[in-house]
């Protein structure tokens, strides 16, 4: 009957949940559906997760942590702040495409405390990462002087927009180049 270890089962449920939640969002996803996708019974899900909310929060935590780590890793290898920012944007777009529906979407409307905490921690990390990039940029003279905190917040907002745009319009194909180009150069003509 149980051909898997507990850990394997938990992971396969988590994977299934990522898939289903990604496609349908929180409220449209049934536990039964996740169970089926994971190849386990309904009751089986409740061995590993206290309830639907717990499953969602765990998944969110897992995903955001993974995303956070990878982004940090990628940024580390970049030579300059512009490249770093580009990398962050690219990373965001890539994940958005992959985990359509989860990264930002829903969970919000439930106001699950467990989710809010997870998200808050994540956004804080991201903000720090971007603040660092901006600081490095201004320190090296590549970026102009600006209020680092404000700029970072705005960038975060912009990133969210790219991500969310992908979510609501799957045909939208934002390129990281185009996005970073505007963020870096702005629209205004530079005085020569």
Out of 13, 17, 67, 106, the only residue in the binding site for a copy of itself (CB under 8 A) is 106
Candidate segments 1-9, 73-81, 146-154, 183-191, binder of DNA by CB under 7 A: 1-9
Q: Is 168 in the site for a copy of itself (CB under 8 A)?
A: yes
Residues 6+ apart with CB under 8 A from 50: none
Residue 161 touching DNA (CB under 7 A):
no
For position 136 contacting a copy of itself by CB under 8 A, the verdict is no
Q: Are 113 and 182 in contact (CB under 8 A)?
A: no
The position carrying tokens 């990522």 is 18
Largest interatomic CA distance in the chain? 74
Comparison of 13 and 102: residue with beta carbon closer to a copy of itself: 102
Residue 63: name its binding partner from a copy of itself, DNA, none (Cβ under 5 to 8 Å by kind): none
**How far apart are alpha carbons 131 and 26 in whole angstroms?**
32
Distance CA 181, CA 175 (A): 10
Q: Is 141 in the site for DNA (CB under 7 A)?
A: no
13, 40 contact by CB (below 8 A): yes
Least distance CB 27 / a copy of itself (angstroms):
4
Of the residues 22, 29, 58, 68, which one makes contact with DNA according to CB under 7 A:
29
Those residues with Cβ within 8 angstroms of residue 176's Cβ, 6 or more apart along the chain or in another chain: 86, 89, 90, 93
Nearest to 63 by CA among 103, 115, 34: 103
The binding site for DNA (CB under 7 A) comprises: 1-6, 8-9, 28-32, 39-44, 46-48, 51-53
The binding site for a copy of itself (CB under 8 A) comprises: 24-28, 82, 85, 101, 104-106, 108-110, 119, 123, 134, 137, 141-144, 146-147, 150-151, 153-165, 167-169, 172, 174, 178-179, 181-192
């Amino acid at each position: 009957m149980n051909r898997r270890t507990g850990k394997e089962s938990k992971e396969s449920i988590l994977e299934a949940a990522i898939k289903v939640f990604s496609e349908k969002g929180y409220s449209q996803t049934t536990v039964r559906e996740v169970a089926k996708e994971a190849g386990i019974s309904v009751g089986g899900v409740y061995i590993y997760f206290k309830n639907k909310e717990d499953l969602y929060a765990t998944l969110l935590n897992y995903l955001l942590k993974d995303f956070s780590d990878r982004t940090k890793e990628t940024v580390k290898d970049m030579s300059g702040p512009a490249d770093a920012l580009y990398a962050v944007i690219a990373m965001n777009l890539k994940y958005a495409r992959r985990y359509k529906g989860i990264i930002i979407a829903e969970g919000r409307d439930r106001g699950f405390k467990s989710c809010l905490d997870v998200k808050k921690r994540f956004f804080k990390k991201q903000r720090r990462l971007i603040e660092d990039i901006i600081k490095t940029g201004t320190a090296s003279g590549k970026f102009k002087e600006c209020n680092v905190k404000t700029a970072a917040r705005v960038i975060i907002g912009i990133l969210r927009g790219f991500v969310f745009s992908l979510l609501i319009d799957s045909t939208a194909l934002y390129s990281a180049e185009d996005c970073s180009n505007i963020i870096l150069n702005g629209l205004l003509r530079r005085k020569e």
